Structure 1
Amino acid sequence: MRQLYPRLLLSLLILTLCHLSFAQSTGRVSGRIKSSDGKGAPYVNVGLAGTIKGTVTGEDGFYTIQGVTPGTYTVTCSFVGLQPQESQVTVTAGKTTNVDFELAENAAQISEVVVTAGKTLNKKPLNIGKIAISPLDMPQSMSIINSEVIADQQASKLSDVIKNVNGVALGTTRGSTAETFFARGYNLGANNIFKNGARSNSAVIPEASTLERVEVLKGSAALLYGNVSGGAIINMVTKQPKFEYGGEVALRAGSYNLFKPIADVYGPVSQNLAFRLIGTYETAESYRNSVESKRFYVNPSLLYKLGSRTNILVQGDYLNNEFTPDFGIGTLDGKIPTSIDRSAFYNAPWAYNRVKQRTTSATVDHQLNDTWKLNFIGSQQTFDRDYFSTERIQADADGDWGRLLTRSDISENYHTGQINLNGEFKTFGLGHTILIGADAERYLNTTHAFRISSLGKGNVYDSINILNPAKFTPRTDEPLATATMRTETPTYRFGTYVQDLINVSEKFKVLAGLRWSYQKVAVAKQHNLETGEVKNSTTAVTKYDRAFSPRVGLVYQPTATTSLFASYSNNFTPNTGRDVNQQNLKPSLIDQYEVGVKNDLVKDRLSVNVTVYRIINNDLALQAQYLADGVTLNTDATIKEFTGQTTSDGVEVDLNGSIVPGLTFLAGYSYNYMRYTDTPGTTGSYMEGERLVSNPAHTANATLFYTLKTTALKGLKIGASGFYTGERNAGWNNQVGQAQKFNRLIPVTGYTTFDVSLGYAIKQFSILGKLSNITNELNYLVHENYSVNPIPPRQFVTTVAYKF
């Protein structure tokens, strides 16, 4: 693996040299847009009049429009709520034409309208897309939730942000120690969560209050990232340094003793070096009795400009999170006991979940010339989880429950690297926007087995009754747990890919790409901690997976603001874990078909997008419910089974924009129908036509914020949000000839929550309050058939901030 990175770099450098000869056929326009006080103006629209060529300035005010055919153009500069400007330029092949603008407003005035400025949903290229292609040119659905929405909604968890993305529904994990999401019918596990473009562990709730934005690429992303599910990928983008001094200090407080100071400071160290340091600390109790959390997060970063063509960004972060494992109210005779109070807690008083996560990354962007760019991202992440808790609340009809225990100590270590070459050229009159890249990853998973002392018959810790707590006297002591075995399992991944956006004409484009993926899961090495013996696992062999993942899409743009698209892609998804016979699992192949329309309306102030899709998984792998004997419940998430072919059909509608200055809104609706469409039909197989558990049929979201700009109440902010999650099933899907005589599905009703916000800002000071779930709606997030967690009740949170 150490030898892969030099080879990747050499290969792409050779490819670069091969394509440089094409670079001279077009030119580019670049420059900087400043405010009247000399600061860079972010999020300003810049375009070439009469063409679809355009871009948006970065936070430092710089912009670049690449691949411009030689000729004379009018460069336009527009900003919602401000006076547009324009300048005439002549573009020469192989040259860069510089055009700067200065706005009449100062940085403080611009910041008041920055939320409503420029970047509509269809003009925000995603970093996770690895190439700066306009979303109108991409035959795929995507969403971005920016820092303004995150701040306005006072989001702290990733789920607070993702609920603004239609078609992505919140789920939960065992013990509610982490969040999980479902998109287009698929669980977005560890392989689908990224941070700054690099894979990130998802077994902890990330800190979201300090994020710059969250990007969601819906559907298949296999071409770019290999073994990801067919639902979506999520990329968390942290805030970057700036070459001007500034920052913010804030204090957030709310219901259940929430206390959260936040600090953010940035500025230049020298002419070419800038820094940023963000940190937050949070303590909170909960509407759930005895549940507490403590979080500490810090995110330092440095940006170095090595000349005019090279940027080096170094980022790091550290998260220390302590949270009480909480299985909620559990199930009663296989059903949700709605008569139990939402605050009832049934875990042991000593239960704990302690997580430490450290991430470092380096990103190098080098502009080879006017039309070719090289990007490298290297990252390393460590994750440690120390967990001890009671397990699985599954009470009988009388309420009795024999509490079992789980002790785990898990470490994960990721080393990732990727290199991408972006360029533009022409052949035979066709324009090409090409991406050539490769990525590699080494992942080491370390787990421990424990022997727990002083347990009763059947390894039961004790018995309690969830309906009558006085029936039994619960134990309060923490048993001795001794580590007996350490197991280390390395995984190696490698992939190469090429993607080409071909401009057949000004209105018709073709996107084509192909990826080759390789994955090796080595035999686990087992360390007996009692005898000192070290040996390889005898229950599995080294597993190799290889596959090609193609992608093709057609884009037709009848106008500069409307795009119609259709696409096909294939996912190669290696399945981790083993079957009930301890054998490696074959990969699943997933076909996705997607059609849609993207529109920018009302002078680019409103985006309206509609997408329809079908995703077919040839064989879905899920955690096996029973072990090989068919009777013993399986509690090991790495033991899985193939459940048959599934088909996921759906439609998604996105609205996003700002019709008038000061007003921002986003809204969406989605429908999904994922069911089994081909199973063996024999005893034990899943039932065809049955909708898969954990996937709501309908979801919807809407958020609106309005800030008064001109009245005597200038600075007053009003906001409202609504979120709907439709009916879904928890539990387990039914099987033909199942031993249970009752339906294994646990129906969960749909629910809607409403939030209202009110705030005021004057000069550098601001205060913002939010009342969430104002109707005090009661519903549940259910993991399988034993972790039933009530949603939060009505709560209040407020943030006081000072910007400098």
Structure 2
Amino acid sequence: MINFTSAKSCLRVCSGLVILLCFSISAFAQTGTIQGRISTNEGQPAGYVNVYLKEIKKGTATVEDGTYTLKNVKPGAYTIIASFIGLQPLEKTIAVEAGKVTSLDLVLSENSEKLSEVQVTARRSQNERPVSVGKIAIRPMDLPQSISVVGSEVIAQQQASKLSDVIKNVNGVALGTTRGSTSETFFARGYNLGANNIMKNGARSNSAVIPEASTLEKVEILKGSAALLYGNVSGGAVINMVTKQPKFEYGGEVALRAGSYNFFKPIVDVYGPISQNLAFRAVGTYETAGSYRKGVESKKIFVNPSLLYKISDRTDILVQADYLKHDLTPDFGVGSLADTVLNTKASRTATFNTPWAFNNVKQTNASVTVDHQLTESWKLNFVAARQDFDRDYFSPERIQAKANGDWDRKLTRSRIGEDYYNSQLNLTGTFKTGLLAHNLLVGADAERYKNSTNGFKIDNGKAVYDKINILDPTLYEPRTDLPEAENNARTEALTYRYGVFVQDLITVTEKLKVLAGLRWSYQEVPANRVFDLDKGTDSSTVKSKYDQAFSPRVGLVYQPVTSTSFFASYSNNFVPNSGIDVYGANLKPSIIDQYEAGVKNDLIKGKLTANFTVYRIVNNNLAQTARFDKEGNEYTGNLYKELTGQTTSDGAEIDLNGTLITGLNFLAGYSYNFMRYTNTPDTKGSYKEGERLVNNPAHTANASLFYTLQNTALKGLKVGVSGFYTGARNAGWNNAIGQKEQFSRLIKVDGFTTFDVTLGYTYKNLSLLGKLSNLTNELNYYVHENYSVNPIAPRQFTTTLSCKF
């Protein structure tokens, strides 16, 4: 059910504040604005076209949809010039008035040869745009790897507030859940994308938070192995969040977002020059929200300032920082009965938490990026980043009730801190050796993690807080008091990582290219220090651990025509495994081989991008929580791990996106994955060969269509529809040989489809956008193992009122 009353109240406040601000800006404006759209004579948007005013040499460039904006222009008559490589400049005269927006659309109409260049180069399809996650300016058409990008238009159109809102547009990357839904976790090609696989502006980012989306310019996904570039990553994918950066022109946006269940979120984005060589940007938001889940609340503060300093024409320094404070209620959902059966009869809103449970997170990021153009062909890039993370948590856990619904509530109290430092140096350049052309990347990186974990004695050591019944909450009187929790232990763990790598894209002919590279990685994990705060002593656990390996990569790209490329690649990497086995010994690393092949196409003169990929990933020994202790008894803890045997992940992916007619944009995709055990030991506790691994849906699909009216009385009206499918998957645990249970440990979770519809209108600098999500009010669950069983969000309404200036 949609809580329209609270949404309407928020909207009234939002509308009044935004309109008042817009009128204030207009009233005091002493300059004018020029805006418009540049297209080809076939009606296609012309992106990346230079637009400037001749008299004052003030300029900008069109974005991908062909639009441009020139702000803070003094009143007067000007000559506006649109230019592009290979085309004759187009000139028009225009008059600018104070406090007004002057619109001017331009059409580039040249001969057919030059027009084709505009359509292919100026618009630049996804296969033509290099991604920063690749660390080198190589267009995806030349890379033997699958890449997906979700841009700012989709992020804005769908009113994304968190990373999962963006990622659901990427096929093959599925949202999972974590203990208590306190963070977001994703699975790709059968692998969990943890902290090692989530990046922000190229540096690793903690995955124990829910990333804020208001600062995102785009999200890049490098599917498959990225071990050569980033070292210790799984074989699934790497996600890189690219944040908004400073601009050398004044502007910005204020927005107020409101929705169902008391959702309220003002957003401010301001940018501009401080001096001729120094520009700034500041993005900030405050978010407060209730939930369709009783007693679940969230409060968030997020700020993201940045500075760009152009030391010279060859050197830029970008300083970025962000601060996140997020307080939310842990939510373990509706729970499970008898360890295997989902409690699907429970209300979608039913919660079984205490009134005082909390999960409070603070995270600070800071980074410095230096780009220096050594020569016309060589560039040096240096990145240094630091992240500080603190999590304070206290809540009941693991809703695993008996068949009659009885559940003994046990508590977990934790305090976790993380200090993370990362630095990387990348040298890129182009050169020739005889008839061969090279696009070379040479890099080195170093990282240091320090994790601090505090242990607590709760309620004077009582094992059980109280007993409740999840089928009949009136059966027992639940406790509501906050028990004492004494901090009696602290564990400090350090991790050091180093790596050097080289990669070369060799152009043999215009149609044939070879990508080859090699990385050497080293990881050191010193012995943990354990402090007994009661006794005032400290000790070490296990021995220090050292891992190192070479990771090769080779790929072949064949382009029979400029709009199509076929590719095939092989890569190998190792994943160091943390934790110890039941005998106290460190685990050996897992070796992963990945094979990938596919075809990339730019069809209909670049209007449609259609890519297809198949892959196989073989992990020689997957590490998981131990099934039995050293005496052969069932093990229910999290400390001990084991190498469970070989897994194989096979799959296929299809990606489609484009702009077929002016104003009509779409993206769509489908993926299939089959990850299973393929070679396990024939001993007690071994997992069954051929069984699909938990948490990985076999099928995922997505499709979104957005249309903006162009030449009617309703010009500026936007409509959109999106559909997202997550296929059937297994929760619980995989079955093992010799297990005591007579039933399967797997929990079958059905697939589900949700639909979102959007409607919006833009008039000059004012925009109103509304979205109705989960239109059919579909009910399904995200399940973490077998105890955190969380219903998906029901039908909800969200609206955003914004003003650009």
Equivalent position amino acid for 1:424 in 2: T
Paired residue for 2:530, among 526, 533, 544?
Answer: 526
Provide the rounded CA distance (Å) in 2 between the counterparts of 1:679 and 1:352: 41
CA contact 1:34–1:101 (8 Å) conserved in 2: no
Aligned to 2:86: 87
- After superposition, the Cα gap between the structure-2 partners of 1:296 and 1:101, relative to the gap in structure 1 and judged at 3 Å, is farther
Alignment of 1:245 with 2:242, yes or no, is: no
Cα distance change, pair 57–254 in 1 and its aligned pair in 2 (3 A): closer
Establish whether residue 615 from structure 1 lines up as the match of residue 635 from structure 2: no
Q: Which amino acid aligns with 2:511?
A: K
Match of 2:426 among 420, 432, 438: 420
1:383 is the counterpart of 2:371: no
User: 1:414-458 deviations in whole A, cap 9, x for unaligned?
Assistant: 1000000000000021000000000000000100111112564xx
Kept in 1, the 8 Å contact 2:658–2:665? The answer is yes
- Give the equivalent residue in structure 2 for 1:365: 371
The answer as to 2:69 corresponding to 1:33 is no
Contact persistence 1:663–1:705 (CA under 8 A):
yes
SS at match of 2:228: helix
What stretches of structure 2 of length at least 5 have no aligned partner? 1-47, 72-80, 95-100, 109-117
Aligned to 1:706: 707
Q: How far has the Cα of 1:147 moved from its partner? A: 1.2
- Report if aligned partners of 2:627, 2:685 keep a CA contact under 8 Å in 1: no
Deviation per CA, 1:100-119: give whole Å up to 9, x if none.
88799999768999999723
SS of structure 1 residue aligned to 2:127? helix
Deviations 1:106-137 (A, max 9, x none): 99768999999723221221111000100000
Per-residue CA deviation, residues 544-601 of structure 1 (Å, 9 max, x unaligned), is: 0000000000000111111100000002111122223332111100000000000011
2:643 is the counterpart of 1:666: no
Match of 1:687 in 2: 688
509, 522, 543: which one aligns with 1:505: 509
The question of whether the paired residues in 2 share the 8 Å contact of 1:188 and 1:231 is answered with: yes
Aligned partner of 1:303 in structure 2 is 308
The AA in structure 1 aligned to 2:184 is E
When normalised by structure 1's length, the TM-score is 0.87
Indicate which of 187, 212, 216 corresponds to 1:211. 216
| Conservation of the 8 A alpha-carbon contact between 2:407 and 2:469 | yes
Structure 2 residue 466 is matched with structure 1 residue 449: no
Contact 1:34 / 1:103 at 8 angstroms: preserved in 2? no
Q: 1:409 aligns with which of 415, 419, 443?
A: 415
2:406 corresponds in structure 1 to 400
Structure 2 counterpart SS, 1:666: strand
Cα 1:688–1:305 shift into 2, 3 Å: same
Aligned to 1:197: 202
SS of residue matched to 1:597: strand
Q: Please give the alpha-carbon distance, in whole angstroms, between the structure 1 residues aligned to 2:126 and 2:311.
A: 32
1:293 aligns to what? 298
Deviation of 1:58 (Å): 12
Look up the match of 1:222: 227
Aligned length: 729
1:489-545 alpha-carbon deviations (Å, 9 max, x no partner)? 1100000000000000011000000000000001111222223223323xx100000
Describe the SS at the equivalent of 1:175: helix
Aligned position for 1:14: none
Higher mean C-alpha displacement, 749-758 vs 579-588: 579-588
For residue 563 of structure 1, what is the aligned residue in structure 2? 565
Q: CA deviation at 1:633?
A: 4.4
The answer to whether the 8 A contact 1:115-1:664 is kept is no
Contact 1:43 1:119 in 2 (8 A): no
Per-residue deviation at 1:36? Answer: 5.4
**Aligned counterparts of 1:683 and 1:501: Cα–Cα separation in 2:** 48
Q: Which amino acid aligns with 1:336?
A: L
> Match for residue 646 of structure 1?
647
Query: For residue 500 of structure 2, what is the aligned residue in structure 1?
Result: 496
Give the percent of matched residue pairs that are identical in Structure 1 and Structure 2: 65
| Counterpart check, 1:466 vs 2:466 | no
CA contact (8 A) 2:628 2:685 kept: no
Structure 1 counterpart of 2:359, which letter? N
* Partner of residue 261 from structure 2, selected from 256, 261, 264: 256
**One-letter code aligned to 1:394:** Q
- Alignment CA distance shift 1:425-1:744 (3 Å): same
1:320 aligns with 2:325: yes
Q: CA deviation at 1:320?
A: 0.3
Change (3 A) 1:131 1:111: farther
Which residue matches 2:489?
485
Amino acid at match of 1:478: L
The 2-side partners of 1:408 and 1:635 are apart by 16
Secondary structure, aligned partner of 2:778:
coil
| 1:596-634 per-position Cα deviation (integer Å, ceiling 9, x unaligned) | 000011111110000000000000112335544554543
How big is the alpha-carbon RMSD for the aligned residues of Structure 1 and Structure 2?
Answer: 2.5
Counterpart of 1:123 in 2: which secondary structure? coil
Match of 1:780 in 2: 781
2:555 aligned partner, one-letter code:
G
Q: Separation in 1 of the partners of 2:349 and 2:536? A: 46
Q: Tell me the distance in 1 between the aligned counterparts of 2:416 and 2:385.
A: 20
State the distance in 2 between where 1:59 and 1:353 align.
43
Equivalent position of 2:115 in the other structure? none
Paired residue for 1:158?
163
* Aligned-partner residue type, residue 470 of structure 2: I
The 1-side partners of 2:103 and 2:464 are apart by: 63
CA shift for structure 1 position 59: 11
User: Aligned equivalents of 2:673 and 2:569: distance in 1?
Assistant: 19
Is the Cα contact below 8 Å between 2:82 and 2:90 reproduced in 1? no
